Amino acid sequence: DAGITQSPRHKVTETGTPVTLRCHQTENHRYMYWYRQDPGHGLRLIHYSYGVKDTDKGEVSDGYSVSRSKTEDFLLTLESATSSQTSVYFCAISESGAGAYNEQFFGPGTRLTVL
């Protein structure tokens, strides 16, 4: 299994509080991604990174920010959590961003509940 860890694995927080989720990889892969998974919506891309300090928005980026100061770490921040952000969050990594060998490997997920 790819060396990807996510922390915390579970979190319960209150509306309006800031939350930061961490993704850590030991594979030295250049590309990292944050997805959320909700019933009826499948996996949806929030933000992704194509290198240290290089990030871009995905399809559901509103209310989220990211940072990547080191190759191995990709942080997802909810500046002011809302109940609509209750979800399971998955981090993924890939060696390349496009081309034939850009399969993504996923972390174990973080279950976030916003009350």
Partner 1 sequence: DAKTTQPPSMDCAEGRAANLPCNHSTISGNEYVYWYRQIHSQGPQYIIHGLKNNETNEMASLIITEDRKSSTLILPHATLRDTAVYYCIVRGTTDSWGKFQFGAGTQVVVTP
* Complete DSSP assignment for 49-75: EEETTEEEE-TT-TTEEEEEEETTEEE
Site string for partner 1, 41-70 (x = CB under 8 A): -xx-x--x-x-----x-x------------
Per CB under 8 A, 39 contacts partner 1: no
Asked if residue 109 lies in contact with residue 87, where contact means CB atoms within 8 angstroms, the answer is no
Residue 72 within binding range of partner 1, rule CB under 8 A: no
Which of 21, 31, 36, 60 is close enough to bind partner 1 by CB under 8 A?
Answer: 31
Contact 46, 34 (CB under 8 A): yes
Rounded distance between C-alpha atoms, residue 12 and residue 58, angstroms = 25
* Spatial distance between the Cα atoms of 65 and 105, rounded to a whole number of angstroms: 22
Applying CB under 8 A, does 109 fall inside the site for partner 1?
A: yes
**Which of 16, 69, 80, 103 is close enough to bind partner 1 by CB under 8 A?**
103
Binding site for partner 1 (CB under 8 A): 4, 31, 33, 42-43, 45, 48, 50, 56, 58, 90, 92, 97-100, 102-109
